[in-house]
Structure 1
Amino acid sequence: MYGYPFGFFDPTFILVIAGLAISGIASAYVNSTFRKYDEVRSRNNLTGTQAAQYILQNQGITDVDVRPISGNLTDNYNSQDKTLNLSEATARSTSVAAIGVAAHECGHAVQDAKNYSPLRLRHAIVPVANFGSTIAFPIILIGVFMGWNQTLINVGIAAFSLALVFQLVTLPVEFDASRRALAILENGNMLEPDELQAARKVLSAAALTYVAAALATFLQLLRLILLFGGNRNRN
């Protein structure tokens, strides 16, 4: 018998459900936190775009363009084309939430300008992690249908583990960007103390989504190991 990987009951599926629940809760929390503090207008009346432009200029970064993009909380910094892309909810808003998010993306631009090692490592891992995630399941299935070829299965599991490596490398990059952002906002007197606390709550909530993603990926990897790992008797 092949057991539960091909049976009607797979107890490890609870790990998938747990991962989805954790990611869903984190996403809902960051959205609710952003909406709450998006209602709080900053006293300096700067938009997210204006705040980003000021921060970049203040940090001596002149080769990064600030651009609006569609979507909600789709903000990102692209080191390839040197663009800081702010979503509609951030670019035009004068809320403390928008300024906090814009400052966080500026934190990535500062990391790039200063050759922050974890950021460089994350850039290097991206193509490898994407490739590993793409080929992992096909390799595992090929190994299973080739008479449970454990070597192929282990290669597939190892390929998927690269996604977890990427998630783990992402954590210090994101935490550091938020740390830089809050320091810049405080030192530049861009937000009042109470507003800075609100921005910190928004960025802390956003950080939880990366922790949740790493945990969900770990649970998925654990499930693959439980289902396919080891030299178990399949006869």
Structure 2
Amino acid sequence: MLIWIILIIGPMLFGFYAQSKIRNAYNKNVQIPSRGRITGYEAAQAVMNSAGIHDVEIVQVPGELTDHYDPIKKRLALSQHNYRGTSLAALGVAAHEAGHAIQHKVGYSMMTIRQTMAPATQIAAGVSNYVITGGILLMVFGAKAFGYDLLMWGAVALAVICLFQLVTLPVEFDATRRAKQQLVSLGIVDQDEMRGVNETLDAAALTYIAAFAASLGSLLHILMILQGRSDD
């Protein structure tokens, strides 16, 4: 029971905390306008221009915190509040996504690895829950051999997801680092305004750590169940 709490409940609670942290930080700093009144769109454009990037389209997408950079389409997507807004949160998120565009341009190795893994990870994410659930149900109803086999495939899928999320961490941290540097060096925000930017981006980083912790905990839990097979 203690192991189950550590591996499953602990990461789950950490995930709730991380989501609450980013929501609170974003909702707070989206209400604070920057002195320069530069929009998120303009900030992303300025950061990319400074890096010599002129072939990335910036588009507005629906939703909140749906911002992302698509290296295949060379498209930087910003949610409405961050595309049109002038808040510290909007500028931080926009510059962060522009940081990904810079990574793409300079051939940042971890981003390249992450993109290479993306197709396999999408497949793994799509089947892992079904395979693991099926394996557990088979074991409950007495078909232990088939159940263990399914759990083995589930563990493989979780391992792919964990590795992808582990690679994601330096990609996101590096994009944040680039964003913070560019916002100040380009004069988009003043140094004393960086507190709101830092608060938003640092809270966002927690969500990636939480996602990795949750997947790792699930993987270790499945591996412990599989270990029981060899002990039978």
Uncovered stretches (5+) of structure 1, i.e. residues with no partner: 1-8
8 Å Cα contact 2:92/2:201 also seen in 1: yes
Choose from 146, 163, 166 the match for 1:165: 163
8 Å Cα contact 2:47/2:95 also seen in 1: yes
Measure, in 2, the Cα distance between the counterparts of 1:54 and 1:136: 41
CA deviation map 1:8-31 (0-9, x unaligned): x99736643333221111011011
1:148 match: secondary structure: helix
* Other-structure match for 1:116: 108
* Other-structure match for 1:73: 65
Aligned residues: 226
Measure, in 1, the Cα distance between the counterparts of 2:130 and 2:28: 43
Choose from 194, 197, 204 the match for 1:196: 194
CA deviation map 1:68-119 (0-9, x unaligned): 1000011000111111000012111111111011000000000001111100
Could you say what the CA RMSD is over the residues aligned between the two structures, in angstroms? 2.3
In structure 2, the CA distance between the partners of 1:43 and 1:123, relative to structure 1 (3 Å rule), is same
Choose from 81, 97, 100 the match for 2:92: 100
Uncovered stretches (5+) of structure 2, i.e. residues with no partner: none
- After TM superposition, list the pairs within 5 Å mapping 1:15-30 onto structure 2: 15-30=7-22
Q: Please say which of residues 125-134 and 78-87 is displaced more in the overlay.
A: 125-134
* Other-structure match for 1:4: none
Q: Please say which of residues 31-40 and 112-121 is displaced more in the overlay.
A: 31-40
Choose from 45, 49, 58 the match for 1:53: 45
Sequence identity, in percent?
A: 35
Choose from 119, 128, 143 the match for 1:127: 119
* Other-structure match for 1:227: 225
Q: CA deviation at 1:59?
A: 1.6
The one-letter amino acid of 2:227's match is G
TM-score scaled by length of structure 2: 0.88
Q: CA deviation at 1:230?
A: 4.4
